[in-house]
Amino acid sequence: MENKNRVSTEMDLPLKSEPFFTEVKIDKWDKIFAVVYLFLGYFLWKVEQHNSFFHISGFVVLYITLVWIYCLAKGFHINKEKIFWSIIVLGIGLPYGYYSSMPLAQLGMLVIVGEYWTLVMTEGLVLNGKTSSWVLFDMWNASIILPFFNFLCQIRVIWESLCKKSEKKTGRMVLLGIVISLPVLVVILPVLSHADKEFAQMLDNAFRVLFNGGIFLQMCVKIPIILILSSLMFGIVYGGIYKRNIEKSFCENYEEKSGQGFHIVPDVAIYTFAGIIGFIYFLFIGFQAKYLFSACVGILPESFTYAEYARQGFFELCGITAFNVLLLFLMNTFARTITRENKVLSVINIVFSMVTILLLVTAMSKLGMYIVVYGFTIKRIQASVFMIWLFLVLSLIIYHQKKKIALVRWAVFSGAVLFTILCVLPLNSILF
């Protein structure tokens, strides 16, 4: 897909990251939205000030609308990925204005997904502008690199647009005149106030309004906060549009080739590690065989209540399942021979995944028995959805050994959809 903003002959735009104080690229849309983002920063500041759920939903709609308009004006086109992530952001953000069963988690995820979505819209993701196995690196760019490394871009765009309005640089000269006048006013105003009582009274009233009324102090607090918020948000969208401080070369240096990049651990060491961990799991299953799988057939072991049996080992099994997914990711990342060329590692992936699914099914059956007896709660629903996601990820890992798929991409997509469903459903109203 061709994009006007990436054609260097048209606007001489950078395709690589730039030094902090490199000259910023400006067109009319950058000038307009640099100012618009000041109002967006003000809106966000009012959201934080009033701590209103409705204001957060309104801000989400306003933010999405402005980024869409900005990107379309800059020549970016609509695709399925942009539509998908737009729906996810709306699904997380809009319900928050009316109800939320997990307010802190939902708000935190809204910030993270909103930043990531901005890079999706500007096609600033490091691998072909799509969600990929570099998703954590993209989130690092969206959350840290772009907002802070491009922090001054908004101010510089506004400043340079004012300075270039005329050959005489009227904007800069006016601002310089204001700055120069301040120390002079400090000298002449006291003298003039002594020379005329009415003038002195006017100055006294003006200072009383500014300081005693709190207007001056409010402005001193409000303006810096608005500038900070708007500069951070503008830094993400501007950096994504111009690919400013996005190090795509980093990914190119770590291509998935045998013995290069992250693939540094000898295969034998990986096999030994997997064998030791797998032996411990089989040993655990052997010791627990008497009652580990009894929940799968609805049998409650003697001397256990439903609550005790459900809670015993449930959180540990869920934690082990999540940890095993991480182990599989690390083994495949650091093994010297990549998975598609390493049949032994493929077998290890399948065995590890099947054992982990077995433990996961055990945990799910325990939770199922508990729900049958005591019913659903918000936490039990959240735990069930989390386990469903882990089951999907493990199934994708097994399928990936036979047919190459974008494993991380689909894992992220499925996780985003499930989390959004939790945000959209009014669980408090359904259960109570």
| Average pLDDT value for the chain | 80
pLDDT of residue 16: 43
Q: Could you tell me if 139 and 104 are in contact, meaning their C-beta atoms sit under 8 angstroms apart?
A: no
Query: pLDDT class for 134, splitting at 50, 70, 90?
Result: confident
Which residues 6+ apart lie within 8 Å of 152 measured at CB? 20, 231
**pLDDT of the residue at 215:** 58
Q: Quick one: pLDDT at residue 307?
A: 64
Distance (Å, rounded) from C-alpha 248 to C-alpha 254? 11
Which amino acid is it at 374? Y
**pLDDT higher than threshold 60 for residue 192:** yes
Q: Dump pLDDT digits (tens) for 148-170.
A: 999 989 988 888 777 665 545 56
> Which residue has better confidence, 293 or 194?
194
User: Between residues 56 and 429, which one has the greater pLDDT?
Assistant: 56
Instruction: Flag the least confident range among 33-37, 262-266, 410-414.
Output: 262-266
pLDDT of residue 33: 94
In this model, does residue 112 exceed pLDDT 90? yes
* C-alpha span between 92 and 60 (Å, rounded): 9
What CA–CA distance (Å, rounded) separates 362 from 369? 11
- Mean pLDDT, rounded, for 253-262: 51
**pLDDT of residue 9 exceeding 60:** no
| Residue 13, Ramachandran bin (φ over 0: left; ψ between -120 and 50: alpha; else beta) | beta
Name the least confident of 75-89, 238-252, 269-283.
Answer: 238-252
> Which tens digit of pLDDT belongs to each residue from 200-231?
788 777 777 666 655 555 666 678 888 899 99
pLDDT(387) > 50 = yes
By the 10 Å C-beta count (0-12 exposed, 13-18 middle, 19+ buried), 253 is classed as exposed
pTM of the model: 0.79
Residue 151 DSSP SS3: coil
* Displacement of CA 199 from its chain's centroid (Å): 56
Q: How far apart are CA 125 and CA 142, in angstroms?
A: 9
Q: Which of 392, 418, 417 is nearest to 405 (CA)?
A: 392
174/399: higher pLDDT: 399
**What's the confidence (pLDDT) of residue 293?**
60
Separation of alpha carbons 30 and 164, rounded Å: 14
Mean pLDDT of 401-405: 85
pLDDT for res 6: 42
> Residue 125's closest CA among 75, 74, 81, 62?
81
* The pLDDT value given to residue 253: 60
- The phi, psi pair for 424, rounded to 5°, reads -75, -40
Question: Is 110:34 a contact under the CB 8 Å cutoff?
Answer: no
**Is residue 316 over pLDDT 80?**
no
Question: What span, in angstroms and rounded, lies between the C-alpha atoms of 397 and 395?
Answer: 5
Task: Give one DSSP letter per residue of 336-379, joined into a string.
Answer: SS-GGG-HHHHHHHHHHHHHHHHHHHHHHHHHHHHHHHH---HH
With vertex at residue 422, the alpha carbon angle to CA 417 and CA 424, rounded to the nearest 5 degrees, is 90
pLDDT at 63: 95
Q: What is the CA radius of gyration of the chain?
A: 29
Higher-pLDDT residue of 233 and 212 is 233
The residue-averaged pLDDT of 244-260 equals 63
pLDDT for the residue numbered 181: 78
